[in-house]
Amino acid sequence: MHKIVTGTIAGAAGVALLLGGAGTFALWNASASTAASSVSSGALTLSANNDGAWTDITNGRSTTINPASALMVPGNTYQFTQTLTIGATGQDLKANLTYANQSITGDSALLAATTKTLAVTSSSASVVQSTANANTFVVSPSSATSTVKVVFTIALPSSATTGQGGTLNVGALAFTLTQTAIGS
């Protein structure tokens, strides 16, 4: 009996030591608040001005056309000129500007037969043609609002043998502006 009582007392003392030791272990800590203010994000926007116009530039012409009623034949070249406004606020902000290929729909043979090119210029932003894609331009706005001039050209080469009687819908022609990664 004496061994049982002694063993129980020793076990209880061991448990008490373990529990007491766990309760006395502590690390010091502290915290402080600062007046670091807040961080805000910038913005990137693109809007089309109401000055878009189509021109037939075939063989040096410069005739305003309505693409809905003009009938393109092999050898014709049409050009759309539009002013876009870029809103760009934020440090290190650059973006790729291009036309949305999927915004031109219609007869697949005529769509495949035409060539489509884009040119972009600006006096209020830096514009550099991408080395990866001829129809993409890297735009670096110099102020919160910059204006760029886009010239979209669609041509049906004189060598084209497909696309007769087809229709292309360019009425929903869209341009996209996508931020590039910093340092690229």
User: What DSSP assignment string belongs to the chain?
Assistant: -HHHHHHHHHHHHHHHHHHHHHHH------------------EEEEEE-S--EEEE-GGG--EEE-TTT----TT-EEEEEEEEEEEEESTT--EEEEE-GGG-EE-HHHHHHSEEEEEEE-SSEEEEE-SS-TT-EEEEESSSEEEEEEEEEEE--TT--S-TT--EE-TT--EEEEEPPTT-
Task: Show pLDDT as tens, one digit a residue, over the chain (184 residues).
Answer: 666 656 666 566 565 555 555 555 668 888 888 887 888 888 999 999 999 999 999 999 999 999 889 999 999 999 999 999 999 988 888 999 999 999 999 999 999 999 999 999 999 999 999 999 999 999 998 888 999 999 999 999 999 999 999 999 998 999 999 999 887 6
> Given this model, what pLDDT does residue 13 score?
58
